[in-house]
Amino acid sequence: MATIKDVARLAGVGLGTASRVVSGKGSVSPATLVKVRAAIDQLGFRPSHAARTLLSGNSRMVGVYIPVLSGTFYTPILQIIDNELRAAGLHMVVAFGAGLGGARQQAIEGLTFLVERGCDGLILMTNVLQEEDLSVLGPRPKPMVVLNHYFDSISGQCFTVDHKLGGKIAARTLLDHGHREIALVSGPASLPDNVARVTAFKVELTAAGIDTGAMWAVEKDFSPAGGWSAAKELVESGRRCTAMFCANDEMAAGALSYFQEAGIRVPHEISVIGYDDTPSAEFSAPRLSTVHMPWREMTQNGVSDLLNRCYDLQRPVTRNYPVTMTLRASLARAGQV
């Protein structure tokens, strides 16, 4: 395989001159440029990734950390990031939670892995890291943006969606459909975005005169299995509810599956709504009504901001994204089906 030294030797120029032609940086006379390019073509020279990094100072790689590499939530977000990076001629390196430590330690190790890979910038999507954990980036940290989480120390690099509004919309939708006996399936209490949506949900119900302290509620883990077990527990409790709010779509999918197996008709006997509006929500049975969170808009703007920081681009960046309700077949008015 030809090297940059071979190119310089064949073109009759110094190694630095050949490097400037390959990297596109620095001044080279037109005649020299022609000679070096001819040598590149004759030798079939293609610089390795390591060589391109040394020549340009950029790896053209962006590191992404997510907690898990599965499910219907993170996979579409990774696809959005990859599409944006590929369109800009960049590549994605992904790290995700794995190992023997807890979620926080896994996130620290994943972030360290991406830094050591020489990525030009980092995209971080996890709720478990603390401000002090950012020290793993070193004294001269790489450009970074954070999705769906907020750090006071780098607030301008954080991109989030309005979970308080999302929770309020979920409650208001059920109230507007006449539901007052409502079951709540929340996610982990340790996750700030879950706390925000669930708290706002309860506040809206309280304002409507519902005693949220007496409502049927259970905490699960954002998984389909968690939704399945929550629906099973509700049925076995004998508590009569006309609607269930699941704090994400994966738990809602699990709940729908259990109700179908148990012979409980949705929405005829109980309505179910989710949260996120992931692509799978449109194809559940019945099709899931869910709070539409603007994950695409948040992710695309976060990527644009990072590329501006890494490569001195001028891509437009916005931070306010609409939160809406997507109404489908899993929701009906209380007592009218």
How far is the C-alpha of 287 from the C-alpha of 17, rounded, in Å? 62
DSSP tag of 153? G
pLDDT of residue 50: 52
pLDDT band at 259 (very low <50, low <70, confident <90, very high): very high
Are 226 and 251 contacting, i.e. CB atoms less than 8 angstroms apart?
A: yes
More confident residue, 292 or 87: 292
> Cα separation of 91 and 115, whole Å?
15
**216 pLDDT band (50/70/90 cuts)?**
very high
Find out whether 144 and 121 touch, Cβ atoms under 8 Å.
Answer: yes
- pLDDT given at position 337: 53
C-alpha distances (whole Å) from 336 to each of 140, 160, 179, 242, 293 are: 62, 37, 11, 11, 28
Could you tell me where in the chain the CATH 1.10.260.40 domains are found?
Answer: 4-56
Looking from the CA of 169 toward its CB, the CA atoms found within 13 Å total: 21
Superfamily in which the 4-56 domain is placed by CATH: lambda repressor-like DNA-binding domains (1.10.260.40)
Those residues whose C-beta lies under 8 Å from the C-beta of residue 96, and which sit 6 or more positions away, are 65, 66, 67, 68, 69, 110
Asked whether residue 177 carries a pLDDT value surpassing 80, the answer given is yes
Q: Which of 157, 63, 46, 48 is nearest to 118 (CA)?
A: 63
pLDDT digits (tens, 9 = 90+) for 116-146: 888 999 999 998 888 888 887 777 788 999 9
Distance CA 154, CA 32 (A): 46
Written as six digits, the tokens of 337 are: 């089906």
Fold of the domain built from segment(s) 61-160: Rossmann fold (3.40.50)
Numbered ranges of CATH 3.40.50.2300 in the chain: 61-160, 163-293+324-336
Report pLDDT for 246.
98
57 pLDDT exceeds 60?
no
Which residue in 171, 185, 174 sits closest to 217, CA to CA?
A: 185
Question: pTM (2 decimals)?
Answer: 0.82
Mean pLDDT of the chain: 91
Structure tokens at 56: 């340009």
Nearest in space to 143 (alpha carbons), one of 301, 302, 309, 300: 309
Locate 165 and state its tokens.
């509004």
3-state secondary structure of 64: strand
163-293+324-336: CATH, from 3.20.20.150, 3.40.50.2300, 3.40.50.300, 2.60.40.10: 3.40.50.2300
Q: DSSP characters for 77-137?
A: HHHHHHHHHHHTT-EEEEEE--SSS-HHHHHHHHHHHHHHTT-SEEEE--S---GGGGGGG
Instruction: Please indicate whether residue 141 or residue 272 has the higher confidence score (pLDDT).
Output: 272
Element containing residue 32 per DSSP (H, E): helix 30-43
Q: What is the number of other CB atoms lying within 10 angstroms of the CB of residue 181?
A: 14
User: How many other CB atoms are there within 10 angstroms of residue 251's CB atom?
Assistant: 30
Q: What pLDDT, on the 0 to 100 scale, is given for residue 281? A: 96
> What pLDDT does residue 192 have?
93
Report whether pLDDT(77) > 90: yes
- Bond prior to 267 in cis (omega within 30° of 0): yes
